[in-house]
A = this chain, B = another copy of it.
Amino acid sequence: MGEGVEWAAHACVVLVWAGGDPVSATRLAAYYRLPPAYLNKQLQALARAGLVTSLPGPRGGFRLARSPERITLWEVVAAIEGGGETFHCTEIRARAGGAVRDRRFGSPCSIAVAMHEAERTWRAELAGWTIADFVAAAEREAPGAPGRVRAWLETAER
C-alpha cells in the first residue's frame, strides 16, 4: 500500500483542526515536512473523490467537503489507491489443458470468491472508522493539539 494514504488521512485531520478555513497544499506539506507537489497530487485525488473541495487563487486551498463523521477511512483509501479490487482474477482455469477450450464456467472461481470476500470485510472494517475518530484519538493523546495546529497555520500564514 502506498504511503500517500497515510499522508491523505493525516491531512484530513489537520483540515478538521483548521476549522473550515482553506489550507493550501504547500502549507500542509510544510507542516508535515512532505514534498509539496506530491502532497498536492494526493489532495487532488481526494478532491476528485469528493472528500475535499478545492479553492484556487490566493487565500485558496483545500477544506473538507463534509463533516469528519461522514468521511470514512475506506473512502480515503479508495480515493488514493483506487476503489477497484486489489485481487484481479484472470480465470486461468479456463486455460487449463484438460478443460474444454471455450467452456463457460457457471459459478466464479472459488479462489476469487475467497479473495473478494476477504477484501469485502477489509473494506467494511475500514469503513467503520471515520476522520472524526482519528481527531478524537489525537486530541485525547495531545489535548493542546488543535490550538497548536491552528496557531502554527496562522503564524505561517502570509
Alpha-carbon distance A122/B117, docked complex (angstroms): 9
Which chain B residues lie closer than 8 Å to A152 at the CB level? Answer: 97-98
A93 at the interface (CB under 8 A from B): yes
- Copies of the protein in its oligomer: 2
Cβ contact within 8 Å between A92 and B6: yes
Cβ contact within 8 Å between A93 and B10: yes
A141 at the interface (CB under 8 A from B): yes
A31-B93 contact in complex given A1-B87, A110-B134, A137-B110, C-beta closer than 8 Å? no
Would you list the 9 A-B pairs with minimal beta carbon distance, nearest first? Answer: A110-B137, A118-B125, A98-B148, A122-B122, A98-B152, A114-B129, A1-B86, A31-B97, A33-B95
